[in-house]
Structure 1
Amino acid sequence: AYVDEDYPPSEKSDAEKRAEEKAEARAKLRAERRNRPDSTPDSEEEEKEYQEEQRKHAERRRINPKEKRVDHAKVARAAHDRRMLDTTLPISSGYEWTTDAKQRRMGAQLQLQWTFIVSWVKKRETYEDKLRANAQRMGGEWRRSAVGWIPSTDRSLLKATCTYVWRVPVEQLSEDDYRDRIMEIVGQPATKWTPTKSDMQNYCRTLSVDPHGDVTSRLVSFMERVDDVIDENGLRQQLKDSTMLRTFVKVVAARVTPSYLRDRVEEQMKTVPANDLVAFADILR
């Protein structure tokens, strides 16, 4: 095609000039907006474009989500707590006395967690009770199908305990000796200091009387929870002191629900001595 190189280019129309100016202004606004912390548009004219960009960003985040950081220590602690709260063991399955990795590494400074052992013993008792009930129905000896105390304990923890705490070779530890040592730990106070009234209130903070059922079942259920508090916090030994026991009874009385029943119990305790839990149960009845 013929092209006249000397032919001057035609001037842009006013409409074309305005369109170019608008395009340059929009590009400038976009560049400025990217550098602002709030990333907000300057005018309504830019609102649609801004919303479209935000929609695209959201879609990209949905399709390619960033990997969330996982607190593995927190996950391990949560799993450990769930095991501690699970007090029901299937009759047909074995179980292990486990501990976290930190405790495994403590070596000579290994400290048996008292509450952990109490929880484990309760699981063991529940397990054996189920075996006894099953053996009674089927007619047999429950001990034949029971997993022993030593086999049901985590092996590495058992070796560390024998080496650093009991100073006994694990190979010389018999089933009866092991059970006796564990029960001796459970029978000791959880701490070496005397619990205060504030400590007792903290131990009993979850106590309450069942709102449903007859009087006897509600009483038994409540006192069973009181016994659990005593066992889980190693209070048996301390509560042999009469003053300590009276303080504990008052703390337990303060957890009676509903409030009208609590007021009645506390009022009666002013005239009828409640020096132990049996006397308290008679008042609560």
Structure 2
Amino acid sequence: MSATRTEVHHGVVDASPPPGGGGEEHIRIAGGRALLGLSLLLGWSLMYLLVLSDFEQNHAQSVLYGELRTQLAEGTAPTGAPVAAGAPVALLRIPSIGVDPVVVVEGTRSRQLQDGPGHRPGTVLPGQAGVSVVAGRAVSYGRPFARLPEIRTGALVEVTTAQGRFAYRVTGLRRAGDPAPAAPAAGAGRLTLVTAAGEGSRLSRLQPSATLYVDTELASGAAAAGPRSAPDPEPELLEPHVDRGTLAELALALLLLTAALAGFVVAWSRWSRWSRRAAWIAGAPVVVAALWLTSSIGARLLPALL
């Protein structure tokens, strides 16, 4: 048997990985970061719609309540057209389903329903002779009409406007496609409440199955109808609504968010270790505020009744 010889080579040995071996690792890292970013974005979107939007509407309702209360005291609250979109027109209360007095605003677009239930242009104001329509959200922004499917025939619906206080009684519930009730008699008043109908948890109701209508009748004492606003040529309340104004505002909000994020990243990477705490204190609120603004404007592209 021959002896085994071991040869020793002197010099620099190339220990780098073979060409192309690191590309897959970079792809995995980039893919993981992209999934993490999408997960964070989805989580924020759900948290905004289901939780944070409630605070936004509560603030809007507080401001609107003070404005309407002053107008009622001074006798300047609207009794007919013209009424500016988003202006307060009435107070609505439904005791049986826990709807405390909420301010009804003019308009039923997504932008207006972020502030509270909205009166549909083209119909008389609540309390007046004729048919009045008020729509409200079921999932987000305080979800004032979330429990509307639970309401029973005969339940009380109270409305306060510049023309007084009015008490309606529920006469029936129907969904899109069901026969509508006959027009009210001359001098009589009807209030129809509209929201999205869905089954299951709040998360599952982000995809509502139908539009729910609750018809209520004013037994007596309807006020004289004032001038009506022109009907709003908006899409159905369960359809997304996209307009140039909202898209322009969303583009500006995204630019603001991008600038806030870029400033925060630059400050974090260039400042010293002890200064990074200041970057968090100064930058985080700006980023959150820009993200909140972007989410609020972006939510206007969703169906108005969600």
User: Which has the larger helix fraction?
Assistant: 1
Superposition TM-score, scaled by structure 1 size:
0.24
Q: TM-score, normalised by structure 2?
A: 0.23
Larger radius of gyration: 1
Which structure has more RCO (C-alpha within 8 Å, separation ≥ 6)? 2
Q: Which has the higher strand share?
A: 2
